[in-house]
Amino acid sequence: MSDEAPEHIAPIRVLLVDDHELVRRGIQMVLRTKSDMLVVGEAGNGVQAIDLARQLQPHVVLLDLMMPGMSGTYASRAIKQVAPLTRVLILSAVDAEHEIVQAMEGSIDGYILKDAPSQELLLAIRTVATGEPYLQGAVTRRLLRRLSAGSGRSEVLVPPQLTPRELDVLRLMATSRSNKEMAELLVVTEETIRSHSKSILTKLQQPNRMQAVLAALRLGLLTLD
């Protein structure tokens, strides 16, 4: 995993949202060292974040999940309403499975924990800025544990019929890999990956990759290794 900046026509405009000033300062110090990152604003709560997102229209909002007055999950939905093209990346110390599930069911584009190395944070920002989701591996494992533990419910869920190659793509969708990386692993084109992904979303009746992963976990299409 590299933290080298790819070539960009313009830097990724980032809005930092965290109720702890020291956390915001630490993240700023990391981002300022990268030529493809530009911190355009800071907010200490969800209300400020929504207002600044409306004014600044950043490429990415780096958003804490647990803040006083308004949760990050609620703030993310509101940010999407006032800045539809903005991507929301949750950066949180919260690793409780139910909180992660709730956030993923909202309007977010990625989830990464605060104890992740700085190079992974940079990768996550760059990934969501391109329009692709980012789900940290540690977060995926927590989701698997939670949904595996709840698999004894009496409700019977019938999974849709996915082709073997769609199942291959689905497993990779549950990782932080980009379409390009998935294509390289499966030795196909990115267009083929996009086609399989679209088919998976249709069959699972989900609007995006992150919610498709959640649905697949509930249906048992993804399981613990």
Residue 132 to residues 10, 26, 56, 180, Cα–Cα distance (Å): 18, 25, 21, 11
- The CATH number covering residue 180 comes to 1.10.10.10
For residue 216 the two structure tokens come to: 């697949």
Q: What is the pLDDT of residue 146?
A: 63
Q: What is the pLDDT of residue 153?
A: 47
Alpha helices, H only, 39-189: 46-56, 72-82, 97-104, 118-129, 137-149, 164-173, 179-186
Contact indicator for 15, 60 with CB cutoff of 8 Å: yes
Same domain membership, residue 158 and residue 130: no
Q: Which of 74, 108, 136 is the last residue of a domain?
A: 136
Q: What is the pLDDT of residue 11?
A: 94
Residue 77 pLDDT exceeds 50: yes
Nearest 10 degrees: Cα torsion 55, 58, 60, 64: -30
Contact indicator for 128, 108 with CB cutoff of 8 Å: no
Same domain membership, residue 122 and residue 179: no
Q: How many domains does the chain have?
A: 2
Q: What is the pLDDT of residue 96?
A: 62
Rounded CA separation 119/181 (Å) = 17
Same domain membership, residue 73 and residue 167: no
Same domain membership, residue 97 and residue 174: no
pLDDT digits (tens, 9 = 90+) for 14-36: 999 999 999 999 999 999 999 99
pLDDT digits (tens, 9 = 90+) for 191-212: 999 999 999 999 999 888 888 8
Label residue 101 by pLDDT band (50, 70, 90).
confident
Q: What is the pLDDT of residue 156?
A: 45
Same domain membership, residue 132 and residue 206: no
What is the 8-class DSSP label of residue 7?
A: P
Same domain membership, residue 83 and residue 184: no
Q: Domain range holding 18?
A: 12-136
What is the 8-class DSSP label of residue 37?
A: E
Same domain membership, residue 80 and residue 47: yes
Over residues 78-83, mean pLDDT: 95
Q: Is residue 3 part of a domain?
A: no
Q: Is residue 92 part of a domain?
A: yes
Contact indicator for 217, 143 with CB cutoff of 8 Å: yes
Residue 1 pLDDT exceeds 50: no
Rounded CA separation 103/66 (Å) = 11
The pTM (predicted TM-score) of the whole model is 0.78
Q: Is residue 39 part of a domain?
A: yes
Rounded CA separation 71/76 (Å) = 9
Q: Is residue 65 part of a domain?
A: yes
Same domain membership, residue 127 and residue 17: yes
pLDDT digits (tens, 9 = 90+) for 125-160: 999 999 888 888 777 777 666 665 554 444 445 678
Same domain membership, residue 172 and residue 119: no
Q: Report the chain's mean pLDDT, rounded to a whole number.
A: 86
Q: Could you tell me which residue, 143 or 75, shows the higher pLDDT?
A: 75
Query: C-alpha 32: how far from its chain's center?
Result: 22
Rounded CA separation 218/210 (Å) = 13
Q: Could you tell me which residue, 155 or 108, shows the higher pLDDT?
A: 108
Q: Which of 80, 102, 136 is the last residue of a domain?
A: 136
